[in-house]
Amino acid sequence: MTGKAKKTYGQIVFIGAGNMAEALIKGMLGSGKYNKESITVADINEDRLKYFDSQFGVRVEKDNRCAVKDAGLIVLAVKPQVLDDVLKLMADVLPDDALIISIAAGKTTLGIEKLLKPGARVVRVMPNTPALLGKGASAYCAGTYANRSDLDVTAELLSCAGFSVEVAEKLMNAVTALSGSGPAYVFFLAELMQIAGEILGLGEHSVELTLRTIEGAAAMLLESGLSAKELRARVTSKGGTTEAAINKLEETGVRELWVRAIEAAAERAAEMSGDK
């Protein structure tokens, strides 16, 4: 790491060697802002540690307690169901001045703070899977004691894997429902479009046509400066084929159902985080 972040946060330790840790480390090293000597990955899975060693040349460690003892920044990248146990086993050896960034879904900053020493600085992140390609959309929020510098460092780290935005923690369940689960909604749409294409006789061509259509539409949404509603209206000619399809969708109540589906995801996120 270079500049102020390197001087302030020192060794960066990832607890967990899963896909999201891999995405972040790949992006960090590719950005040129971080060096492999400043990154440690800890996990009980020896095969994953061997992979990180060979693929990225970072330091690897099986023992979480040993890994974090000199850490300046710790990224909690384990499954949420084991996070509490992981923290309890290493809480007493965490450096007092270490910044804790959690990417464990559904785990609140308060819940994490309760398992750490008083005054622990915690930032909560909700990433999504396109981060694996450097195209992620993440949101982050500060815990009780995290400061502006901590949030800036978090944003810089997340920028290595895509886009990020700071939100209030009360909005993290909505983030989980919209962008955290969002890729699956797009995959579902692609699945249905491919099925329709096959029914209409396009066969194997339905896959490529669907994927390229979604790719192009996403590019237009990002680059045209127009809203989704405006872009849809421009390709929906009066009495045309697109209008026929949209009308059929509207007849099924898909607009309301789509909103209700994302609301259901937000409600489930609230249940998982203990907000309900």
Same domain, 120 and 248: no
- Local confidence pLDDT in tens for the 276 residues of the chain: 233 333 346 899 999 999 999 999 999 999 999 999 999 999 999 999 999 999 999 999 999 999 999 999 999 999 999 999 999 999 999 999 999 999 998 899 999 999 999 999 999 999 999 999 999 999 999 999 999 999 999 999 999 999 999 999 999 999 999 999 999 999 999 999 999 999 999 999 999 999 999 999 999 999 999 999 999 999 999 999 999 999 999 999 999 999 999 999 999 999 988 766
Could you please report the per-residue DSSP string of 7-27? Answer: HHH-EEEEE--SHHHHHHHHH
Q: Which CATH number goes with the domain that contains 73?
A: 3.40.50.720
> Widest CA span of the chain, in angstroms?
69
Cα 117 from Cα 168, distance rounded (Å): 23
Please report the pLDDT score of residue 276 as a whole number.
60
Same domain, 19 and 71: yes
38 plus 69 within the same structural domain: yes
Task: Check whether residue 15 and residue 131 sit in a common domain.
Answer: yes
Predicted confidence at residue 2, as pLDDT, reads 31
Read off the tokens for 32.
């040129």
What's this model's pTM, rounded to 2 decimal places?
Answer: 0.90
Question: Do residues 156 and 138 both lie within one domain?
Answer: yes
Distance between CA 240 and CA 258 in Å, rounded? 24
Task: Please give the span between the terminal C-alpha atoms of the chain, in angstroms, as a whole number.
Answer: 39
Residue that has been written with the tokens 């699945």 in this structure: 191
Distance from chain centroid for Cα 12: 18
Indicate if 137 and 89 belong to the same structural domain.
Answer: yes
Task: State whether 159 and 208 are in the same domain.
Answer: no
**Per the structure, how many domains does the chain have?**
2
- Of 128, 148, 172, the residue that ends a domain is 172
For residues 147 and 191, membership in a common domain is answered with no
Among 160, 138, 127, 126, which residue's Cα sits nearest to residue 12?
Answer: 160
d(CA 264, CA 249): 20
Which residue range forms the structural domain that includes residue 40? 3-172
Domain boundary among 151, 172, 193: 172
CATH code assigned at 221: 1.10.3730.10
124 and 188 inside one domain: no
Domain-terminating residue out of 172, 192, 213: 172
**Collapsed DSSP state (helix, strand, coil) of residue 43:** coil
Of the candidates 137, 140, 124, 118, the one whose C-alpha atom is nearest the C-alpha of residue 76 is 124
Same domain for 165 and 187, yes or no, is no
The dihedral formed by the CA atoms of 130, 11, 46 and 32, expressed in degrees to the nearest 10: 50
Rounded CA gap, 132 and 127, in Å?
10
Distance CA 104, CA 91 (A): 17
In this structure, the answer to whether residues 162 and 223 fall within a common structural domain is no
Both 26 and 160 in a single domain?
A: yes
